[in-house]
Amino acid sequence: MVGSQVNLFNFGGEKVILDRTKNEWQKIKNRLDAEAACPIGLLYKTSFTPLDDHQVLAIGYEDNGFGNPELMVWDNNDGSQARIYKIDFNGDALEVDKFTISNKDKSLTHQDGSSIKGFFLENYSHVQPPVELKI
């Protein structure tokens, strides 16, 4: 409801989510310039609650400065393979094409990425597990 095409209760809509995602894109680039990886949250067009969304690990990017960057991520659902999200910030709504990178020959396989409506940098800090959990 928050990021759907309908802007109920003035919570958002595709344009608002696009603008927020553009702001988050700069934060993600800054974090990746300083660190090897960072967690990001993906917002899906089909989700009605935040529990329906997903988290992945951003591990690299390329940005040509023309509103069509690429974001490399690792998703725990893909095993050891990585994904590339080809992003288009130039329209009235975020457009994303998703590709999986083959472990064997590094070829790209296109997947449907149109369900992604936005993404954002997640806050993360290391927390030492309790001593009681040590074996």
Q: For position 35, what pLDDT does the model report?
A: 95
Decide if pLDDT at 135 tops 80: no
10 Å Cβ neighbour count for 3?
Answer: 23
- Chain-centroid distance of CA 100 in Å reads 14
Residue with tokens 């974090």: 31
Contacts of 24 (CB under 8 A, 6+ apart): 40, 118, 119, 120, 121
Residue 128 counted as domain residue: no
Q: What share of the chain in percent tops pLDDT 90? A: 53
Residue 2 counted as domain residue: no
Residue 34 counted as domain residue: yes
Residue 132 counted as domain residue: no
Give the angle subtended at the CA of 36 by the CAs of 134 and 124, to the nearest 5°. Answer: 55
Q: For position 9, what pLDDT does the model report?
A: 41
10 Å Cβ neighbour count for 134?
Answer: 6
Residue 129 counted as domain residue: no
What value does the mean pLDDT of the chain take? 86
Decide if pLDDT at 52 tops 80: no
Q: What share of the chain in percent tops pLDDT 70? A: 88
For the chain, how many structural domains are there in total?
Answer: 1
Least confident of 15-24, 44-53, 100-109: 44-53
Helices (H), the chain: 14-34
Give the angle subtended at the CA of 65 by the CAs of 110 and 27, to the nearest 5°. Answer: 85
pLDDT, tens digit, 9 for 90 and up, residues 65-87: 999 999 999 998 888 889 999 99
Residue 1 counted as domain residue: no
Residue 79 counted as domain residue: yes
Residue 131 counted as domain residue: no
The stretch 46-56 carries a mean pLDDT of 78
Hey, which of 3-17, 22-36, 101-115 has the most confident mean pLDDT?
22-36
- By residue range, what is the domain housing residue 23? 8-123
